[in-house]
Amino acid sequence: MLEVDGGPRVLIDTTPDLRQQALRHGLSEVDAVLYTHAHADHILGLDDLRRFNLERGGPVPCYATAETWETLHQTFSYAFDGVPRLGGGVPRIAKHLIDGPFVVAGLRVTPVALLHGRMPVLGFRFGSFVYLTDCNAIPAESWPLLAGVDTVILDALREQPHTTHFTLPEALATAARIGARETVFTHMTHDLGYASTNARLPEGMALAYDGQSLEIQVDLEPA
């Protein structure tokens, strides 16, 4: 979750434990959701957006590629089929298609095309910060979008090879090429010991942890 002081809150992906995370961190409102891709571990908390509908008094603006929308429609057909239902209602989503850089709640966002095995997915750049989860390759055309990045969050699954995620050695090489001041690795499996792995990472690189908070510089659209 990205929060601008006194400004918008933008959530990236709706993970299956969104409800628990929102309770733990006092997250009661979001201004938008950006989806990286439609794998289960990134979308299955979508139904919990209902709570934010109540706080907002309206739909939550959600941003995704056409491919991601297609899977969201299949997985949450009841939220998109337009059939009126009794009871607590369905999540209300304002759909936005990502097809290039965009502005969300005053925040400038540059999508960064990544490869997650054969699947095209998105990373997101905000100012000098970039979030690159779920990938094992950065296509040539995306490298210029990473120039001058100060803080990066990058996929690093484990030591052993994997078909859709960077291994730790691959992530280290990728992080070195990006050259950010601070690199935080995410999406690790339990195979990676936390303290033992951190102890052998280069200066300026570390494994992420639950509830971690980073200060970043974003680009805001002039009001």
Q: Which residues bind Zn ion (CB under 5 A)?
A: 39, 41, 134
- Indicate the residue among 41 and 47 with the shorter CB distance to Zn ion: 41
Tell me how far, at minimum, the Cβ of 155 lies from Zn ion, in Å.
8
Which residues, 6+ apart, have CB-to-CB distance to 56 below 8 Å?
29
Of the candidates 101, 46, 53, 91, which has an alpha carbon nearest to the alpha carbon of residue 71?
46
Nearest distance from C-beta of residue 108 to Zn ion, angstroms: 25
Closest approach of Zn ion to the CB of residue 38, in Å: 9
Comparison of 81 and 159: residue with beta carbon closer to Zn ion: 159
Q: Which residues, listed in sequence order, are joined to residue 205 by a DSSP beta bridge?
A: 183
Cβ proximity to Zn ion: between 50 and 162 the closer is 162
Classify strands 32-34 and 9-12 as parallel, antiparallel or unpaired.
parallel
Nearer to Zn ion, 42 or 51 (CB): 42
Q: What one-character DSSP code corresponds to residue 160?
A: S
Residue 125 C-beta: closest distance to Zn ion, Å:
19
29 or 41, CB closer to Zn ion? Answer: 41
Residue with the CB atom nearest Zn ion in the bound state = 39
Q: Minimum Å distance from CB 91 to Zn ion? A: 21
Asked if 165 contacts 134 with a C-beta cutoff of 8 angstroms, the reply is: yes
Whether the CB-CB separation of 168 and 162 falls below 8 Å is answered with no
Long-range contacts of 66-73 (CB under 8 A, 24+ apart): 66/97, 66/99, 67/37, 67/38, 67/120, 68/35, 68/37, 68/38, 69/95, 69/97, 70/38, 71/38, 71/43, 72/35, 72/38, 72/43, 72/46
| C-beta closer to Zn ion: residue 9 or 39 | 39
Amino acid at 166: F
In whole angstroms, how close is the CB of 39 to Zn ion at the nearest point? 3
56's tokens: 């907002």
